[in-house]
Structure 1
Amino acid sequence: MTSPAESKTDESRAGESRRPMIEAVGLSKFYGPFAAAREVDFSVREGELVAFLGPNGAGKSTTMKMLTGYIAPSEGEARIAGHNMMEDRIEGSKHLGYLPESGPLYYEMTPMGMLNFFADARGLSKTVKKDRIDAVIDICDLSSVVYKPISKLSKGFKQRVGMSQALLHEPDVLIMDEPTAGLDPNQVRGVRKTMRKLSETKTILLSTHILQEVEAMASRVVMINEGRLVYDGDVAGLRQKGDVTLDDAFHTLTKGAHI
């Protein structure tokens, strides 16, 4: 009979055998003398859902933009599915779905019109396009608003439209910056369920300020403060950094930060 300790070791070895899909290799971004990120180094392997934490201004969004190839690092390298996102961004982007903090929405379009536009931009065939648009409308629960102008939608629906475009081309990797921002509790519950389902087949890096989401969804936590990595490990290990709760641990690791 296998002991719990042996099972945990086997699980860790299985995780280590999966290839890294998101890699930050010594990533730094300087704006004059200011370092928005400095020597950030971590990887996310196949099948992991990793929460990316830090106070406001810690460098989370900057790091995510470097990982996606949206901005160039001053130093270091960002890789998606093994592709250097500065040298081979087109190939890397085929594997990547990205939802920035302010999603790429065209307010004069309807969700259906925008999804058709993004499908054409990504070169999806007619058959694949229809199937994928139907799929993301279902996943993101957009059927009731799919023909309404995006400008008329609530913030929650706008967020879901942004998520739908990130999922449209069925990427292996998802990078999502505050995907539940502006959603009501029922919508947050739905997003959590969707994220858990997606993590069965995809690799996900998820930025959030809501620590309950970390416990509900993440298998691992990466935390930065003032542009530097301060924690990389499981949720249980993070909790031990504080007195009792994740809030305590967050405070301990980000003391002096302006939240």
Structure 2
Amino acid sequence: MSIRVQNLTKEYNHQRAVNQISLTVQPGEIVGFLGPNGAGKSTTMKIATGYLPPTDGTVEVNGFDVRTQSMDVRRSVGYLPEHNPLYLDLYVKEYLRFAGSLHGMNGQDLSRRITDMIELVGLGHEQQKRIGQLSKGYRQRVGLAQALLHNPPVLILDEPTTGLDPNQLTEIRQAIRDAGRDKTVLFSTHIMQEVEAICDRVVIINRGQIVADASLNELRIASSGASIVIVAEFEGELTNPAMLSSVPGVEQVEQLEHGKYRITAASTIDLRASIFRLAADQNLTLVGLRQQENSLEGIFRELTK
């Protein structure tokens, strides 16, 4: 297996950021690593790249132990950290040439590889600029090109699509999918559609402990009995949203946007007929009423609330 984490613990001044977690990622697998801020995602990734030492437990990457074979681990990993560190005074190609030299790359092989990476991440029109002149989205592309440059067997990407516009998101997602054909990819994100689009498996961590590790279908099946969610949309905002809570079986009401509400009920209750009758009795114009499938966002919220 490409990544093996066993009983990993990390403490900062007696505060446990990661608490005895275990997970494996197989070659060719793309795994989404999810969790709220402060859950332990970035800490786990930093340990897996050799950036931080573990307090206890073991981590192996591409067969190398992060404690005793740190340099071998770093040669095996392409890493894009959450806060992308770049030399802003360097030109794009100049920076990538420097990054390649750190991995022992040089000459025509390095030049060809830089050209390929610039094309892969869509930096062609920006390659003659200094990094400091680039937008945040293009800086993320430079960071991703750096992570892929030495053709590592393992990619660890900490929120790689931060700051990208919708067109860039599509391109970078495709780049990650393409990389995942022959690499192991572990990446974190807060964009649930991104995980649903490209991941084989999802690992969710909360307060330093893993609370889910399964495929998307397995997660949906496991959580299908937890609750039913109805999205009701009215013509205009309700003057008294609390009336929705008075419907028998309603457990929670949350306003999504102007006139739109998410209503949660126990799994055995279909609220749609009751909400329709309430709207009729109160002379409310109901313009939309649908039952929401078990989305990854809903599962995430349930597991980390």
For normalisation by structure 2, the TM-score amounts to 0.76
1:69–1:78 CA contact under 8 A, matched in 2: no
Q: 2:131 corresponds to which residue?
A: 150
Q: 1:11 corresponds to which residue?
A: none
User: What CA distance in whole angstroms lies between the structure 2 residues aligned with 1:217 and 1:112?
Assistant: 29
1:5-16 alignment runs, 5 A limit: none
Aligned AA for 1:37? Answer: V
User: What CA distance in whole angstroms lies between the structure 2 residues aligned with 1:62 and 1:97?
Assistant: 16
Cα drift, residue 56 of structure 1 = 0.8
User: What CA distance in whole angstroms lies between the structure 1 residues aligned with 2:195 and 2:132?
Assistant: 31
Q: Deviations over 1:190-216 (max 9, x none)?
A: 111111111111110010111111110
Q: 1:9 corresponds to which residue?
A: none
- Deviates further, 241-250 or 97-106: 241-250
Cα drift, residue 119 of structure 1 = 1.2
Cα drift, residue 224 of structure 1 = 0.4
Q: 1:249 corresponds to which residue?
A: 299
User: What CA distance in whole angstroms lies between the structure 2 residues aligned with 1:85 and 1:135?
Assistant: 30
> Given the alignment, which residue of 56, 75, 98 partners 2:79?
98
Q: Deviations over 1:54-106 (max 9, x none)?
A: 01110100010011110000001111101001211111222110000112210
Q: 1:71 corresponds to which residue?
A: 52
- Deviates further, 48-57 or 89-98: 89-98
> Given the alignment, which residue of 102, 110, 116 partners 1:129?
110
1:85-234 alignment runs, 5 A limit: 85-234=66-215
Cα drift, residue 164 of structure 1 = 0.6
User: What CA distance in whole angstroms lies between the structure 2 residues aligned with 1:226 and 1:134?
Assistant: 42
User: What CA distance in whole angstroms lies between the structure 2 residues aligned with 1:33 and 1:85?
Assistant: 22
Cα drift, residue 33 of structure 1 = 2.2
Stretches of structure 1 that go unaligned for 5 or more consecutive residues are 1-19
User: What CA distance in whole angstroms lies between the structure 1 residues aligned with 2:100 and 2:11?
Assistant: 35
SS of the counterpart of 2:7?
Answer: strand
SS of the counterpart of 1:144?
Answer: helix
User: What CA distance in whole angstroms lies between the structure 2 residues aligned with 1:100 and 1:172?
Assistant: 17
Bigger-Rg structure (1/2): 2
User: What CA distance in whole angstroms lies between the structure 1 residues aligned with 2:103 and 2:173?
Assistant: 27
Q: Pick 1 or 2: higher relative contact order, CA cutoff 8 A, min separation 6.
A: 1
Q: 1:56 corresponds to which residue?
A: 37
Aligned AA for 1:94? Answer: R
> Given the alignment, which residue of 12, 20, 31 partners 1:31?
12
Equivalences, count: 236
Give me the CA root mean square deviation.
1.0
Q: Deviations over 1:130-171 (max 9, x none)?
A: 111111111111111112111111000000000010001001
1:98–1:176 CA contact under 8 A, matched in 2: yes
More strand by share: 2
Q: Deviations over 1:2-50 (max 9, x none)?
A: xxxxxxxxxxxxxxxxxx1011111111012211111110010011000
User: What CA distance in whole angstroms lies between the structure 2 residues aligned with 1:121 and 1:181?
Assistant: 26
Aligned AA for 1:176? Answer: L
User: What CA distance in whole angstroms lies between the structure 1 residues aligned with 2:190 and 2:162?
Assistant: 9
- Deviates further, 159-168 or 140-149: 140-149
Cα drift, residue 114 of structure 1 = 0.3
Aligned AA for 1:246? Answer: L
